[in-house]
Structure 1
């Protein structure tokens, strides 16, 4: 043990830490990146493509609104709860094996969903998808960290981030085409050939890397405590809109998560081989990177949630057309991610991260100016600026977290990065949704009265204003005239736009805070040298 610690603390020569030159296919860095990207693309695409299929699933299987919500929530819960544990599995048993199992399981679960004839089976297999997705995402980062030399890691993570960004934003477009022209089942069946390709590439190309001081035991109690804490945090965020933020249920679950996180931290400080060595968080850059990912996902995912309703509700676009309107965001992320990797390699992550969050904040504040009459050019400007801001953050924060962790904990670090995104996204959607709901409740009745509508406001129409969508059956209501339908539609849209503007303002403020946090980040140059510190 002593000799091992001495090696870990020895000054690091960059030549020593670089992977040995590779001949042939197995272990080739760029082929490894290609193989990993295929699998990651499948999971990232699935995150948004399914949303387009939900209405068709609901109609075909006769599901309730709550059932349809669980198609997404079940996947989110499983993913968020299992990510860090899955990263530890990769550190313990090898990232190559974990990645391939994750890909195969994800594809198999996708096929099972496509063959399901009940909403209960769809939800159950979506949970299974989330568990297998949790296996492969941290393993992908662990493989990149072990395969690429330090001077090329940022570029690799940049391309990795580009694939995730493009797949996430491209999901609504592909999903719209498949649902409209094939079936909702095709949204899931498409994962099967992609998964088979990814497994074959993984078996041929990926090389297993094991750190000398990789964990030999497994912290079962730590897994249970962390899983319970993550569940207790994500569950009330999902249900807060239904329960209310001040309800006993919401506050009770959140309090329970705090208790469980506290018990987890206490246990981790006592166990010999902890699930998440708390000494990792002595690294200020790593901790700042985790916080930054939470804040970035809060602003991005929470804000983007309203953009889709704005495009499809207020501007009355089809799912395919709304996806096409987001192409400036996708395109800018595709272009900017590799460039961000090059900039971070040359100048370090701090300046690109601060600049990225400033651009993100500017885009969020800019989107408060959107209106029913906003044209394509103005929307494209703000979407492109958002993509420009997100790219360096996706790349840089990932490098800061994974790069500042010891090599034998790269899977845990990858799990932390992904878990931070899931928590931030859930928190952003829940909090900004509550902001929107409160603003709509405060203004709808006044807007209704100001429009001169004689009848009292209908609570169902107030609920419609939270989504910016005029109900199709409104025109068939007794006593309804075309003029009155137009007036009520204006009230719904105006109220929605006011709520969305406030939500984007909050998202912009969060992005400004994230820019300040980004000042604390730095390059993970001494990750391997600091490996021993995580065990002291």
Structure 2
């Protein structure tokens, strides 16, 4: 409690003392609570909307491309603006940035619920992404400034548990709302949550400013980074449709490479760079960033196929598939705060290496799943995955944010989130290509071995596309039950073969990530203010 807190000032503080906290305002654990409410809203939205997409498509008469844009518009806006949003927090204060993000995200959510066209939904999803980008780095910046180094891991552990629980709860909450209320309610639910988060933020959050906070904006850097990030994420989103060798894919990838090179060159000359390259002189921060990319690559890329496995192969509803993933959620909720405490005690290196090894074991185990796998086996691998992922989420975040100077805490938070978005997009695209290649090879062989009639090129392409997500297209009326059963076996068998290979690749990436984790270490930079004993 505030009355029992004592302050011990270091003899030579790196930064001026933080603003004096009075009553509830600025209390570290209450700050964490206020921040968690806002972060929960954004994390929940990341998965809850996927459940609403079919209902939106039917109600608004949207095309498949329109529905894809509902997701892609949000992802692009979020990924492109994260680091810039973190810089805004460093410049104007993380409290102000966080509150603006809360208001904007909730308002955009309400506007989507009131939209009468799919175009309006897409436009307001862009605003959701932009305001969501303000929230996440600001949340980490507030935690970085509010907690002393010895408490920061524990705070990030709880923060990670909230994100894990919210992300996993999305399909369950979304399914219940769409089924019993409406698709609009999926977005309206953010409005009261946003109001609560805003009120808590106004009462509790205390603004922290570093002495050397940036005073100007690197506009050329913002443009170069935004164009580069857009080109990269867009190429990864469209590669499965266009093909990796297509000129459009290569063009956007090439634009991303050139853009990033120009960005790096500019940042070496800018007076106040958007992303100070000096941050990467810290081997630990660089390793933490790479580790976050690799973790998201395996996790998001692998989990993408698991949802199709549960729904299209095992025939579960979205709500039931969400429930089947509860061991993963439970593992993350339990392991996140424990990981924070362990990392505080022994440092991040050993826990992160062990966690990525455990993640690799879970990925290799999941690669053995098939149509007859029971609930107990899937629960085991999902629980191990959650136990492995949580320490990485906590530890890599602390390594990135904790090794950055306080005046760049927002940029570091944006870097952490951007690394996750890039890794997740890269994992989904690359593992999707692995899946498509395996299905394209095995499906014709399985079809022939099953003794089914030959398919023309168009029919085979359509069936292959469906098999990549484990979906068995409806057969013409009067098709014998035995033929339908053989077709189902061929499609599901091809999908499982592809999923097994993709998850094996994800496991190999996790092993590589364990090697990267060797180079991590705890944050070297203090929070710039007095040490707070809670």
TM over 0.5: yes
Q: Secondary structure at the match of 2:367?
A: helix
User: Which residue number corresponds to residue 211 of structure 1?
Assistant: 210
Distance of 1:18 and 1:493 partners within structure 2: 61
User: Which residue number corresponds to residue 261 of structure 1?
Assistant: 260
1:353–1:12 CA distance, 2 compared to 1 (3 A): farther
Of 465, 468, 472, 1:466 maps to 468
Q: TM-score by structure 1 length?
A: 0.94
User: Which residue number corresponds to residue 4 of structure 2?
Assistant: none
User: Which residue number corresponds to residue 449 of structure 1?
Assistant: 448
Distance of 1:290 and 1:495 partners within structure 2: 35
Shift of 1:62: 1.1
User: Which residue number corresponds to residue 175 of structure 2?
Assistant: 176
Shift of 1:251: 1.0
Q: Does 1:33 align with 2:35?
A: no
Aligned positions of 1:277-316 closer than 5 A: 277-316=276-315
RMSD over aligned CA atoms reads: 1.6
Aligned positions of 1:88-167 closer than 5 A: 88-167=87-166
Number of residue pairs aligned between Structure 1 and Structure 2? 516
Distance of 2:269 and 2:17 partners within structure 1: 34
Distance of 1:510 and 1:123 partners within structure 2: 34
1:200–1:526 CA distance, 2 compared to 1 (3 A): closer
User: Which residue number corresponds to residue 399 of structure 2?
Assistant: 400
User: Which residue number corresponds to residue 370 of structure 1?
Assistant: 369
Shift of 1:469: 1.6
Q: Secondary structure at the match of 1:369?
A: coil
User: Which residue number corresponds to residue 276 of structure 1?
Assistant: 275
Aligned positions of 1:78-89 closer than 5 A: 78-89=77-88
Shift of 1:378: 0.1
Distance of 2:15 and 2:340 partners within structure 1: 23
CA contact under 8 A between 1:18 and 1:150: conserved in structure 2? no
User: Which residue number corresponds to residue 426 of structure 1?
Assistant: 425
Q: Secondary structure at the match of 1:317?
A: coil
CA contact under 8 A between 2:301 and 2:424: conserved in structure 1? yes
Shift of 1:272: 1.0
Gaps of 5+ in 2: 1-9, 529-534
Instruction: Write the deviation string for residues 93-145 of structure 1: whole angstroms up to 9, x where unpaired.
Output: 00000000001000000001111111111111111100000001000000000
Q: Does 1:56 align with 2:39?
A: no
Q: Secondary structure at the match of 1:179?
A: helix
User: Which residue number corresponds to residue 4 of structure 1?
Assistant: none
CA contact under 8 A between 1:79 and 1:130: conserved in structure 2? yes
CA contact under 8 A between 2:293 and 2:423: conserved in structure 1? yes
Q: Secondary structure at the match of 1:157?
A: helix
CA contact under 8 A between 1:217 and 1:273: conserved in structure 2? yes
Distance of 1:395 and 1:111 partners within structure 2: 32
CA contact under 8 A between 2:149 and 2:526: conserved in structure 1? no
Q: Secondary structure at the match of 1:171?
A: helix
CA contact under 8 A between 1:18 and 1:149: conserved in structure 2? no
CA contact under 8 A between 2:149 and 2:527: conserved in structure 1? no
Shift of 1:525: 2.4
1:57–1:503 CA distance, 2 compared to 1 (3 A): same
Instruction: Write the deviation string for residues 207-257 of structure 1: whole angstroms up to 9, x where unpaired.
Output: 000001101111111100110110111110000011100111111111111
Distance of 1:371 and 1:429 partners within structure 2: 21
User: Which residue number corresponds to residue 75 of structure 1?
Assistant: 74
CA contact under 8 A between 1:312 and 1:318: conserved in structure 2? yes
Q: Does 1:200 align with 2:199?
A: yes
Distance of 1:151 and 1:18 partners within structure 2: 18
CA contact under 8 A between 1:19 and 1:148: conserved in structure 2? no
Shift of 1:20: 7.9
CA contact under 8 A between 2:25 and 2:203: conserved in structure 1? yes
Distance of 1:518 and 1:421 partners within structure 2: 16
1:16–1:124 CA distance, 2 compared to 1 (3 A): closer
Q: Does 1:380 align with 2:395?
A: no
User: Which residue number corresponds to residue 522 of structure 2?
Assistant: 523
CA contact under 8 A between 1:61 and 1:117: conserved in structure 2? yes
CA contact under 8 A between 1:18 and 1:148: conserved in structure 2? no
1:22–1:490 CA distance, 2 compared to 1 (3 A): same
Distance of 2:145 and 2:185 partners within structure 1: 36
CA contact under 8 A between 1:12 and 1:526: conserved in structure 2? no
CA contact under 8 A between 2:359 and 2:507: conserved in structure 1? yes
Q: Secondary structure at the match of 2:479?
A: coil
Distance of 1:464 and 1:248 partners within structure 2: 25
CA contact under 8 A between 2:212 and 2:407: conserved in structure 1? yes
Instruction: Write the deviation string for residues 362-413 of structure 1: whole angstroms up to 9, x where unpaired.
Output: 1000001101011110000000000000010000000000000000000000
CA contact under 8 A between 2:16 and 2:210: conserved in structure 1? no
User: Which residue number corresponds to residue 44 of structure 2?
Assistant: 45
Instruction: Return 150-159 or 58-67, whichever deviates more.
Output: 58-67
Distance of 2:17 and 2:367 partners within structure 1: 47
Distance of 2:11 and 2:184 partners within structure 1: 52
Gaps of 5+ in 1: 1-10, 530-536
1:49–1:71 CA distance, 2 compared to 1 (3 A): same
Shift of 1:22: 4.2
User: Which residue number corresponds to residue 320 of structure 1?
Assistant: 319
Shift of 1:517: 0.3
Shift of 1:30: 0.6
Shift of 1:456: 2.1
